[in-house]
């Protein structure tokens, strides 16, 4: 056997040995990295999933993998059968963990597909509300709503005061001497915000669902008993105000027609409510 052939064989053997050693090292490094970590099982997307795919068909698109507990999302899907009746709201890509927020009720997805067009310069934001704060759960995609923002009193030491319905920052020297709290307040912060989706989290009253006896739920006479998720299309600035209110105050929605004028009323407090009541007597 010539030296050239021997050299090629030796090089090939060394390459194979090197590859095996590298794979073993990587596996060992991964095991060391996971040492002491609590591992949990999650569903991971293994092949592309189109939006609108029924949850009942997801088993062919996902696989079960173990990951450290600290990287498992809070809303990670724990059971595929528990998702029955829902569909994927967006396209899912390989490698991402399957989470419940990526799935919606079939009726909600159908409403979105029916043609609620979102302007290009707007974002969509979802808020969770009790039914009485969302027009009794009677909202539907395509409607417009007025958004009310309510706040409990906050400390004036935050260096902001309310002047004629506007928040004004106090000079630092003044703010340091201010003590007390603002009054409770309520005001309309948005007019005619577009509703793009409505989801009702209930056992028997999801929008469009049927009762066990086959009759449709009469939403006008049967009150929902759980939360409503309402998605609104708003400008990025208004989305900030909406999220801030949802985080630190309370949001109320009112069905609003185009004929309703945009009132320039001041922010309502206990004092102003009683003043208007007294004036009207």
| Residue 25 domain-assigned (yes or no) | yes
The C-alpha atoms of residue 274 and residue 281 are separated, in whole angstroms, by 11
**Residue 142 sits in the same domain as residue 260:** yes
| Residue 70 domain-assigned (yes or no) | yes
**Residue 131 sits in the same domain as residue 55:** no
The C-alpha atoms of residue 272 and residue 41 are separated, in whole angstroms, by 56
- What domain range includes position 137? 115-154+180-281
| Residue 230 domain-assigned (yes or no) | yes
| Residue 232 domain-assigned (yes or no) | yes
Mean pLDDT of 125-132: 90
**Residue 146 sits in the same domain as residue 202:** yes
| Residue 165 domain-assigned (yes or no) | no
**Residue 97 sits in the same domain as residue 185:** no
Distances in Å between the Cα of 20 and the Cα atoms of 11, 15, 33, 250, 257 are 14, 9, 20, 60, 70
**Residue 209 sits in the same domain as residue 226:** yes
Question: In terms of pTM, does the model score above 0.75?
Answer: no
- The pLDDT score that the predictor gives to residue 104 is 82
Q: Please state, for a pLDDT cut of 70, what percent of the chain lies above it.
A: 63
- The pLDDT score that the predictor gives to residue 226 is 75
Higher pLDDT, 250 or 219: 250
The C-alpha atoms of residue 90 and residue 108 are separated, in whole angstroms, by 13
**Residue 28 sits in the same domain as residue 47:** no
Q: For 158-222, give the secondary structure using H, E and C.
A: HCEEEECCEEEECCHHHHCCCCCECCCEEEEEEEEEEEEEEEECCCCCCCCCECCCCCECCCCCC
- The pLDDT score that the predictor gives to residue 114 is 59
- The pLDDT score that the predictor gives to residue 242 is 94
Distances in Å between the Cα of 249 and the Cα atoms of 77, 90, 174, 246, 258 are 30, 30, 26, 6, 27
**Residue 209 sits in the same domain as residue 230:** yes
**Residue 64 sits in the same domain as residue 188:** no
- The pLDDT score that the predictor gives to residue 145 is 93
Neighbours of 6 (CB within 10 A): 10
Of 65, 85, 104, which residue sits at a domain end? 104
Band (pLDDT 50/70/90 cuts) for residue 281 is very low
| Residue 121 domain-assigned (yes or no) | yes
Report the DSSP beta bridge partners of residue 66: 41
- The pLDDT score that the predictor gives to residue 35 is 55
Domain count for the chain, please give it.
3
Out of 116-120, 147-151, 159-163, 270-274, the most confident range is: 147-151
**Residue 233 sits in the same domain as residue 122:** yes
For residue range 53-105, list pLDDT tens digits in order. Answer: 898 999 899 999 988 888 888 888 988 888 888 888 878 888 888 988 888 88
| Residue 51 domain-assigned (yes or no) | yes
Higher pLDDT, 11 or 206: 11
Checking if the pLDDT of 160 tops 70, the result is no
For residue range 164-205, list pLDDT tens digits in order. Answer: 666 666 555 444 445 566 678 888 999 999 998 888 765 434
**Residue 228 sits in the same domain as residue 138:** yes
Contact 110, 52 (CB under 8 A): no
Interacting residues of 226 by C-beta distance below 8 A, sequence separation 6+: 131, 200, 201, 202, 205
Band (pLDDT 50/70/90 cuts) for residue 7 is low
- The pLDDT score that the predictor gives to residue 158 is 54
- The pLDDT score that the predictor gives to residue 207 is 41
- The pLDDT score that the predictor gives to residue 67 is 86
Q: For the ranges 114-128, 170-184, 237-251, 264-278, which has the lowest average pLDDT?
A: 170-184
| Residue 164 domain-assigned (yes or no) | no
């Amino acid at each position: 056997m010539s030296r050239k052939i021997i050299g090629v064989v030796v090089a090939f053997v060394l390459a194979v040995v090197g590859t095996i050693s590298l794979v073993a090292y990587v596996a060992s490094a991964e095991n060391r990295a996971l040492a002491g970590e609590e591992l949990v099982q999650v569903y991971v997307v293994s092949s592309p999933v189109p939006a609108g795919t029924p949850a009942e068909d997801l088993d062919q698109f996902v696989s079960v993998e173990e990951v450290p507990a600290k990287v498992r999302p809070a809303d990670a899907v724990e059971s595929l059968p528990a998702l029955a009746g829902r569909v994927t709201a967006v396209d899912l890509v390989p490698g991402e963990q399957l989470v419940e927020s990526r799935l919606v009720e079939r009726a909600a997805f159908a409403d979105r597909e029916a043609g609620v067009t979102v302007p290009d310069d707007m974002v969509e934001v979802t808020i969770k509300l009790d039914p009485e704060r969302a027009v009794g759960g009677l909202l539907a995609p395509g409607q417009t709503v007025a958004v009310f923002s309510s706040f409990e009193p906050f400390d004036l030491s935050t260096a902001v005061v309310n002047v004629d319905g506007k928040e004004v920052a106090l000079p630092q020297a003044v703010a340091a001497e201010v003590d007390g709290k603002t009054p409770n307040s309520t005001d309309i912060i948005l007019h005619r915000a577009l509703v793009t989706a409505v989801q009702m989290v209930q056992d028997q009253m999801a929008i469009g669902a049927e009762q066990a006896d086959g009759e449709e739920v009469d939403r006008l006479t049967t009150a929902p008993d759980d939360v409503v998720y309402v998605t609104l299309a708003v400008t990025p600035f208004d989305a900030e105000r909406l999220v801030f209110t949802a985080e630190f105050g309370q949001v109320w929605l009112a069905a609003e027609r185009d004929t309703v004028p945009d009132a320039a009323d001041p922010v309502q407090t206990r004092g102003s409510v009683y003043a208007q009541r007294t004036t009207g007597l």
